[in-house]
Amino acid sequence: MGTTLAAGERKWRIRLGLAPKRLLWSVPLGAAATLVMLLALDFSLRVAVICGVLLAAAAVFRLELGANMARLARIFWMVGAVLISYTMVEKLDGLEGWTIFTPVQIALNLLLYGLITALVWLITRRSVFSGQFILVFSWAVGMINRYVYAFRGRNIFPADLLTLQTAANVAGGYDYTPDRVQVGATLVLLGLLELSLALPREKWRRLSPRALGIGWGSCAVVVTLLCAGLLGRLGIEPSMWSTKGNGLLLNFTTCLQLIIPERPAGYDLQTVEDIAGATGEAELMAGGGAADGTRPVNLIVIMNESFSDLGVLGDMQTNQDCMPFVHSLTENTVKGTGYSSVFGGTTANSEYEFLTGNTTAFMPAGSVAYHMYVSQDDPSLVGQLGSLGYGDLAMHPYLASGWNRVEVYENFGFDRVMFTEDFESRRYCRYYVSDECDYNNLIAQYEAKGEGEPFFIFNVTMQNHSPYILEWDALERTVWLTGEMEGKYPDADQYLSLIYKSDQALKALIEYFSQVEEPTMVVMFGDHQPKVDNQFYVDLMGGELEELSLEEAMNKYKVPFLIWANYDIPEAQGVELSLNYLSTLVAQTANFPLTGYQRALTAFYQDLPIISAVGYRDGEGTWADRENELSPQAQEALYAYHVLEYNNVFDKENRLEGFFFLDT
C-alpha cells in the first residue's frame, strides 16, 4: 500500500531544477530585454530591471514533474498558448479582442487557433512544440498584418497570397521600424518561448495512420462547416468595410468561402439571354458626345497613381490648392467623382474595372482580377477600340512583374506595351519615374505614329506611389497642411506636394494636345486614395472608420476623374459614378458605338450609380452595404448586372459573345 502511494505521489511531483549551461545566454537575454523595455517601451528603470532579471532567472530553471503533473502542465501550456496567441494577434491589430467582439466571434477565433495547434500536435505529438508553434505563427501573422494595415489601410485577405510578387516590387521604400506594440509583442513571445524551455522534454512518438486520418478528417469537417454556411447562420459575415471585424483569423477564414465566386440565384443561359435581350437603347450618362458626331483620332487614358483630392474627407486646410489646374478645367470637359473599390493599394482592380466595365463587387473578397479572372481575348475597351481600327499602347513606368500585367495586356490585345526599361531619358521624383517624364514619353509615342492613324494609349503612372516618407528628391515642398494639422503629418504634406506636381504635369500635357490638330481626348482618373498616417484620416473625418456611417466612410474611396477634348463636347460637372462605369461614359462622350454590355451598364447606372466592393448607392441616394437595403429598382439592376458579369467572367464557355463585343 505504501509503495503504491509513493508511486502516485511521484506522478504528481513538482521540483524546480537548475540548468547552469543556460547562464551563458540567459544573462545577455535579460540585459537586452531590459534595454528594449527602457528605450523602446519607455518602462521605468525599476520595472525594466525587475522584468529583465526575472526573464534571465527563468531561463536557468527547469521543471521536473511527475507523469501526471507533466501531462497537466502540457495541457495548460497548449491552452494558454492558444489564448495568448489570439490576444497577441488582436493587440497587433490595434484591438482589444476580449471586449470588442461578441462571445460567438471570440469562441470561433479560439476554435481556429486551437485547430492549428491540434494539427501540429497530430503531426508531432509534442505538446510543448505545438504551443511554441502557434505562438510563433500568430506573432508572425500579427506582425505582417500590422505592416499591411500601415501601408495599405486594410487587413490581409486570402487573395493577397497571389500578389506577393507585386508586393515585393514596392516593398523597398517603406519604413519597417517596429513600433511599441510590435516590440512588446516580440518580448512577450521571447519570454514565453524561454519559459517553455523549463517544461519537461517530450520524445517523438509515432502516430498511427488511423489516428492521423481521424484527426485530419475532423479538422476538414470543422473547416468545411465554417466555410459552408455555418458562419452565415451565426451572423458572421466578411468584414469588408473596416476589415477589422470578426477578429483577424476568423475574418480571413470567413473570406475563404468567397474564393469561389458566388453564382447568382436562378442563373442559367435563358436568364442571361432574357436580361441581354431586354437591353434597349443606351441611356445618357452625362452630356453625351460631340453633336456633329466627331470621334477622337487619339484617345489617351491616364490612370494616375493615388491621385485624389483629400479635401473630400473633411475640412482640410492647406497653404494653397494642390490641384489648381484640375479644379479650373471646365471648357470641353466632363469631370466629377469616381468611387474606387480599393483604398491605399490594389491598383490593378481599378484598372480592371475601367478597362472591362466589370465590378469587383461580385468577386471574392480581396481578390485581384488580373491574377485570377482574365483570359485570352476577354472583352475590354482595348478590343473594342481595336475593332474600330485603333492601334493601342499600354504604358507603365515601373516593373513589368507587377499585377501580372504582361499576360493581362496580351490577353486584352494591346499591340505594344512599355515598362520602365522602355522609357527614354528617365527622370525620377523621389523613387519613381515622374509624371512629367512619363508624359514626355507619351507625347513621343504620339508623335511617332502616322498622321491620322487612330491611336489609343492607356497610361498607368507611378510618381505618386506610397510611401510618403521618402527623401524629397526632385520634389519641391509646394503644398502643406495648415491650421491645427500644420507640421503634424509630414507624410500627408509630401503627398500633397506630389499631387501638385502631378497636376502641373497634366496641365503641360493638355496644353500640348490643345495645339494638336487631330481630334484628341484625354481621360484622367485616380486609382485610389493614398495610405498616409491613419490618425490623419481620423482627425479629418471625425472618427475611426468603424464609428462612421457608410456614406461618410465612402469618402475614403472617392477619386477625381475628367474627360477633356481639344474639340467641342457637351460639358458636365459634378458627375458621380463608380469606376466600372467610367469607360462606358468615355465611349459615349467619344461617340464610339457601344456593346450590348455597355448599353446595359448605362441602364444600371440610372438605378445604381455607385457599386463597389465596399458599398452601393442607389438612384434615390441611399447608401447600403447589403443588397436588401437598396430600392427595388436598384436590387433588380444589381441582380441583372450580376448575371451578366457572371456569364462574362465565370461562365466563359457559354458567354454571349455578340453581347459583350461590338458587332462588326
SS3 label, residue 615:
coil
As a dihedral over the C-alpha atoms of residue 93, residue 98, residue 102, residue 108, rounded to 10 degrees, the angle is: 80
Which helix H or strand E contains 14, and what residues bound it? Answer: strand 14-18
What is the Cα–Cα distance from 350 to 578, expressed in whole angstroms?
10
User: Smallest Cα–Cα separation from 652: which of 376, 447, 289?
Assistant: 376
Short-list 578, 580, 577, CA closest to 645? 580
* Phi and psi at residue 152, to the nearest 5°: -125, -10
Q: Which CATH architecture has domain 270-375+456-660?
A: 3-Layer(aba) Sandwich (3.40)
Which range (72-81, 288-297, 386-395, 487-496) has the least confidence?
72-81
- State the SS3 of 149-208: HHHHCCCCCHHHHHHHHHHHHCHHHCCCCCCHHHHHHHHHHHHHHHHHCCCCCCCCCCCC
Residue 266 CB: number of other CB atoms within 10 A?
9
pLDDT of amino acid 225: 57
Residue-level pLDDT at 220: 67
Helix locations, 514-571, DSSP H: 534-541, 550-553
Helix, strand or coil, per DSSP, at residue 20: helix
Grid coordinates in use for 118?
A: 491540434
- Asked if 318 contacts 487 with a C-beta cutoff of 8 angstroms, the reply is no
Nearest-angstrom CA–CA distance, 575 and 590: 17
Yes or no: say if 488 and 532 are a contact pair by the CB < 8 Å rule.
no
- Distances from the Cα of 324 to the Cαs of 349, 499, 646, in angstroms? 28, 10, 41
pLDDT tens digits, residue range 68-109?
Answer: 666 776 788 888 889 888 988 998 888 888 888 888 889 888
d(Cα 474, Cα 51) in Å, to the nearest integer?
48
Contact status, residue 164 vs residue 368, Cβ threshold 8 Å: no
For the stretch 37-76, pLDDT in tens is: 565 555 566 766 766 666 666 666 665 555 566 677 678 8
Question: Is residue 483 scored above 80 in pLDDT?
Answer: yes
Quick check: bond before 467 cis, omega within 30? yes
Residue 73 carries which DSSP code?
H
Confidence of residue 13 (pLDDT cuts 50, 70, 90): low
Q: What is the pLDDT of residues 220-244, one digit of tens each?
A: 666 665 555 666 667 776 665 556 7
| Cα–Cα dist 645/264, whole Å | 10
Rounded Cα gap, residues 192 and 37, in angstroms: 16
* Phi, psi at 431, each rounded to 5°: -110, -15
The domain ranges of the chain are 75-256, 270-375+456-660
What 8-state DSSP symbol labels residue 590? T
C-alpha cell at 473: 528628391
pLDDT tens-digit series, residues 459-471: 999 999 988 988 8
Sign (positive or negative) of CA dihedral 435, 339, 354, 349 = positive
Rg (CA), the chain: 29
Secondary structure (3-state) at 472: coil
More confident position, 28 or 188: 188
Q: Cα dihedral sign for 310, 312, 316, 319?
A: positive
Burial 546-565 (b: 16+ CB within 10 A, else e): eebebebbbbbbbbbbbbbb
Element containing residue 564 per DSSP (H, E): strand 558-565
Distance, in Å, from the CA atom of 283 to the CA atom of 293, rounded to the nearest integer, reads 17
The band of 1, judged by pLDDT with boundaries at 50, 70 and 90, is: very low
Grade residue 291 by pLDDT with cuts at 50, 70 and 90: confident
Q: Which three cell numbers stand for residue 101?
A: 467582439
Q: Give the three cell numbers for residue 605.
A: 447606372
